[in-house]
Structure 1
C-alpha cells in the first residue's frame, strides 16, 4: 500500500489546472480568483469626516474650550464644493469630503451652537476624526491574491474599488458514479436494498465547492453499466470523475479492471489510511482524472475531504491546505502504520480550546458525522496532539 502523503502527491501531480474566465462581480461569490486584484483607486479616495460635527481650521497648538467660530455652511457627503475661502468652521456630515484647508473634525456632542456660531466645549487638538485618503487601500495595492475564494468581504472590497468584473478559475466539471445493485433512490426499498446516500452527499459537497456536476449516475454491479457511465462522463467533458464502491478486491469489485479496459492509467490503488483504504486514482490521457472511493459512507466522506478536496484546490490554482495543530483531550487506541481520519468536536479544558474524538466511529456510521465539528487526522497513532481540519473543504482558507 502507498502512504497517504505519497498518494496525494501523485494525485496532485496528475491534476490539471483549469483555465480562467471573466465573470460579473454579482455572480462571483464562491469563485476562486485567477489573478491578483490591484486596486485602481485609493480607499478612502479623499480625506473625509469620521463623524458628524464641525470641520475647523486648527492651529498646531489647538483651540481651547470656549473658542467660538462662525459656521460658513453645511457640508454633506457627496457635496462637490471643495473650499470655503476665509471660513474657520463649517458643519460637516460623516463621510463628507474635508474642505480645502480644514484639518480637524470636532464631534457635534463636543460643541454648542447658537445661530451661526459654534463654541467648543473642551480643548481640542488638530487632526482628529479624519479618515485619511488611502488609509485603507492605496492606489496600485494588491488587495486580493490569486487562489483566494471570493467571499462576501471580498465582494464588498471589490465593489468599493469599482471593480465590476473579476478573473476567476473556470468551475470544475465533475461526474459522479455510484455503484451497487443494492442502491436505490427514495421510496419503498426492496428486500436487501438500501438508499443511496453517497450520490446525494457528493452532489451536495461538490455544489458547495462550486463545481458543475455534468453527469450523475447510479449503476448496478456490472461492468457494462459502469462502462456506459464513464463514457457518458467523458462525453460530458468532465474534468474529474468520482466513483463510489466496487473498488476493493471482492468478486463484485470491478472498477479497477473496468477502468483499465477503458484506457485509464492507474496512479495508485490502496492507501495506508483508515477508513477508505481501498481508494484508487487513475487518469485518462487527454481526459478526466478519476478518483474511486470505497462504498461505505464515511469512507466516501474521507475520500472526498482528503483526496477530492485537494484535487479541487489544485484545479483552482489554490495553495495546499494547512491544518491547525490541536491538543486532544484523550488519545484513542488506533492501528499502527495507517494514517487515521476521524471526527472530532471542540471542547474546553482549563480555559484552553481542545478537541476530543467522537465515540462509536466506523466507516458505516453516519450519525457521528452529523455531530462533528472538525476532522482530526494523525499519522500512525494519535498522541497528545492531532491535525485539525474543517469538515468541508469549501470552508478551508
Structure 2
C-alpha cells in the first residue's frame, strides 16, 4: 500500500475526492447523430431566430383584416405564398408554413366555414372577433424569434446530450457540437472462482458483474474498451494493469486483504498512489481509487451489490469531474420502514419509490442482485440506521 493512503473516508467524502480528482478531458467536435450520451463542452446557441419567420400554429387560414375573407391561394409548409394579402383576403395554410405578407391572424379549419371562395369565422373564433370582424392580431401565429432569438443560449455547457436535446441543437441550425471526450474504460474481472457461462457449479459461481458493467459504463457516460478476466496472481494483476492504455481501469474483486487479494500490491508495484483505500459505507466498504501516472484505477468489491455501490459512488463522481459537471446531488425521501444500520458506516438500501416515499426491498445482502428488479434507487441511511417516517438522502439509479 502507499505510504500515505486516505485509508478510511466517509461515503460523502469519497464522492467528493473522486469528483475533485477528475481532470477535464480534451474536447472534440462530433456530428449530431454521433453525439448522443456525450457532454457539451461549449454552449449551443441559436444560429438564427427560431422560428426564422412568422409561422402558422395551425392548419387553417391565414387571413388579412376583417372577415369574411376571400380565398386567393394556398400557403403550404415549405412552399411560401409569394403574393401579399390584401385586407379581406385569405389563403389556406398548413401548420408551420410562412405567414404571407399582409396576413394579420390565423383561423383554424374547425373554426371556419367555407362557401365557394368565401371563408367565415365560426364557433370559438366567432366569439373573439372585434367590432369590425377581425381576429386579434397574430392570433394562432408564432412570431419570428418566438422560441429563441439569434445568439440565445439553447443548451448550456455541461449538458448531457439526449435524443431530444440533440433535436434542439438541430433546430438551432447546428450540424456538429463540441463535447468532452468520454473516459475510455478497461474492466478487469478478478476471481478464479468465477464462471462466464451457465449456472454456478462445482464450487464456482457465475460472474454477474462482467455482463452488466459494460452497460453501467455506458449509462454513466464513459466508453468501454474491453472486459477481461484476470487470473488471481500478482504477476497477472500487474501485467493487466500496466498493459492497459485506458483512461480509467475498473477492477472487480481483490480489494480486501485475503490470501488471493493482490490488487493493492499490484497498484504499488505499478507506481500507483492511493486516493481512497476504504469507504465507510455498507455494502461496499472495500472500494478504492488510485492514480497510476495519468490513469485512474477504481477497485470495486467482488460482491455484486457492493460493486454497483462502488461504481455509483466513485466512477460517476470521477466522470462528472472529468466533464466539468458538478458532483451529482443527492435528493431526499421519506423512509417508509425503519431499518438498523452499522454503528460507523452509512448504509445504502435498495428501495422502491412512490411519490416522495421509499420502501426497502428484500434481498439486500451485498451478494444479492434480485433487489434491483423492483428498485428505483438507494436510500442513504445514516450510521446507526433510520426510523420509519425519517427523511433520508436518496441516490437515484440511472
Q: TM-score, normalised by structure 1?
A: 0.89
The secondary structure found in structure 1 opposite 2:340 is: coil
In the alignment, which residue of structure 2 is the partner of 1:53? Answer: 60
Cα separation, 2, equivalents of 1:365 and 1:85 = 72
In the alignment, which residue of structure 1 is the partner of 2:250? Answer: 242
The secondary structure found in structure 1 opposite 2:306 is: helix
How many equivalent residue pairs?
377
Equivalent of 1:126 in 136, 144, 156? 136
Q: Confirm or deny: 8 A CA contact 2:275 2:291 kept in the other structure.
A: yes
Q: CA RMSD in A?
A: 1.9
Q: Confirm or deny: 8 A CA contact 2:43 2:156 kept in the other structure.
A: yes
In the alignment, which residue of structure 2 is the partner of 1:27? Answer: 34
Q: TM-score, normalised by structure 2?
A: 0.89
The secondary structure found in structure 1 opposite 2:320 is: helix
Cα separation, 2, equivalents of 1:340 and 1:115 = 76
Cα separation, 1, equivalents of 2:206 and 2:55 = 61
List aligned pairs for 1:1-397, cutoff 5 A: 1-58=8-65, 63=66, 67-84=67-84, 86-91=86-91, 92-121=93-122, 122-123=126-127, 124=129, 125-127=135-137, 128-187=139-198, 191-233=202-244, 237-285=245-293, 287-347=294-354, 353-380=356-383, 381-383=385-387, 384-392=390-398
Cα separation, 2, equivalents of 1:90 and 1:212 = 56
Gaps of 5+ in 2: 1-7, 130-134
The secondary structure found in structure 2 opposite 1:70 is: strand
Cα separation, 2, equivalents of 1:68 and 1:188 = 78
1:243-295 deviation line (CA, Å, top 9, x unaligned): 1111112222221122111100111211111111121111013x211111111
The structural deviation recorded for 1:343 is 0.4
Q: Confirm or deny: 8 A CA contact 2:339 2:386 kept in the other structure.
A: yes
Q: Confirm or deny: 8 A CA contact 2:193 2:204 kept in the other structure.
A: yes
The structural deviation recorded for 1:108 is 2.2
1:25-78 deviation line (CA, Å, top 9, x unaligned): 1111111111110111121111111112222223xxxx5xxx423222222222
Cα separation, 2, equivalents of 1:56 and 1:22 = 45
Distance 1:353 1:7, change over 3 A: closer
In the alignment, which residue of structure 1 is the partner of 2:132? Answer: none
1:76-112 deviation line (CA, Å, top 9, x unaligned): 2223334425352212222221112211112222222
1:274-328 deviation line (CA, Å, top 9, x unaligned): 111121111013x211111111111101101111111122222222211221111
Gaps of 5+ in 1: 393-397
The secondary structure found in structure 2 opposite 1:253 is: coil
